[in-house]
Structure 1
Amino acid sequence: MVKETIPSAWETKRLTIKDLVEDEIQPVQQLYEQGSFIHKWDGRSLDKEFVHRCFTVGDLPPNGTKDRFKIQVIRLKSNEIMTGLLITYHGFPQPEIFYINYLYIDKEYQNEGLGHELVTELLRILQLEKYNEVRANVAMKNWPAVRFWTKLGLNTINGFFGDKEHGENQYADIELIKTF
């Protein structure tokens, strides 16, 4: 059974989250590039067209479809300042699984509990929509993200992907899950 996608617009106590619109592509790309420091942990290179590609075709899993993909902009309610980016896929690898591809909060607003607030509300929405599992893929060298996701209940390891040996120029990801 195919599950509904999360709403095109939703909110938390301090945030509004809305689907990306075309005129936001450039500022959201700049926000994405601000978070490119994670590439020192995941071994990837900066994609200068990432947000445009997400908007036009999506960042899809194998056999994925654009209608199950979302790229959403996070803003502060108080002043509408763009503070983050949430990228998700609904129904991978099975219809009842929700996948968090990417979450980034602007460095100026990190450590204020905004990410925790956002994910807590997202998990509530997913339970209402009857998803039975949520997954997030995290670079193993990204200790802040590993701590963040495990504190929010994504604390079961589903698998390791990437290099088999540890080293300065070797990288691996860990897929974390939370079941409802």
Structure 2
Amino acid sequence: MISVLPERWQSRNLVYRRLLENEITEMQNLYSGSQYISEWDGSELNASQIEHWYYTGDLPPGGVKENYCLFAVRLMDSNELIGIISVYHGYPKNNSAYIAFLYICKDKQGQGFGKESEIQLSDELKKLGYKEIRANVAVKNWPAIRFWINAGFNGVSGIYGDKVHAANTFANLELFKIL
């Protein structure tokens, strides 16, 4: 049986809580702010992405909803929603966790909240017995590549997508960190 993250956990400045159904619209609005990433990964705005993740999950091949968790990231002092963490437990191996999406809203970026979230997530997963964490990042997304490498995701387990670079082609790196 795969252990999943608890319903609620916290770090120094932030509270992470499993998304509640009545928070879907608020989180979708936050998610819409991440669409500048589409120029790096070729994705399009999905006006019901958070609803899809909430009810169906963001699952790998053969994945099950029970192993997927979607968290709201809120400031501890004000309860302001500032981020999203989406994690799949047990992929590609039982002792692996996969960060499907981590986003801190633009006006809170550069203040250390992403780093604080990654560190706390790593600590929580390590407590549960996970041995590695993986993250997928667009090759053209230099800020995210820098973020993940600085966080210790210095292994590359794959590169997926288009084989040539052009304005309208896209590829992703799958990075990993040993816990």
TM-score (norm 1): 0.97
Q: In structure 2, what is the Cα distance between the partners aligned to 1:170 and 1:48?
A: 23
Kindly report which structure 2 residues correspond to 1:1-180, keeping only aligned pairs within 5 A, or say none.
2-180=1-179
SS in 2 for 1:166: coil
Q: Is the 8 A contact 2:156 2:174 kept in 1?
A: yes
SS in 1 for 2:172: strand
Q: In structure 1, what is the Cα distance between the partners aligned to 2:149 and 2:86?
A: 19
Q: In structure 2, what is the Cα distance between the partners aligned to 1:44 and 1:135?
A: 20
What's the CA shift string for 1:104-156, capped at 9, x where partnerless? 00111110000101111111111111111100000000000000001111111
| CA RMSD after TM alignment | 0.8
SS in 1 for 2:34: helix
Q: In structure 2, what is the Cα distance between the partners aligned to 1:59 and 1:133?
A: 19
Query: What are structure 2's unaligned runs of at least 5 residues?
Result: none
Residue 47 of structure 1 and its aligned partner are, at CA, apart by 1.1
Q: In structure 2, what is the Cα distance between the partners aligned to 1:155 and 1:49?
A: 33
Q: In structure 2, what is the Cα distance between the partners aligned to 1:37 and 1:157?
A: 25
Name the count of aligned residue pairs: 179
What's the CA shift string for 1:4-59, capped at 9, x where partnerless? 11111000000000000011001100111100110100011111111001111111
Residue 3 of structure 1 and its aligned partner are, at CA, apart by 2.9
SS in 2 for 1:154: coil
Q: In structure 2, what is the Cα distance between the partners aligned to 1:27 and 1:119?
A: 22
Q: Match of 2:84, as an amino acid?
A: L
SS in 1 for 2:51: helix
Moved more, 157-166 or 123-132: 123-132
TM-score (norm 2): 0.98
SS in 1 for 2:30: helix
Q: In structure 2, what is the Cα distance between the partners aligned to 1:129 and 1:18?
A: 17
Q: Is the 8 A contact 2:84 2:104 kept in 1?
A: yes
Q: In structure 2, what is the Cα distance between the partners aligned to 1:128 and 1:58?
A: 23
Q: Is the 8 A contact 1:98 1:133 kept in 2?
A: yes
Q: Match of 1:20, as an amino acid?
A: L
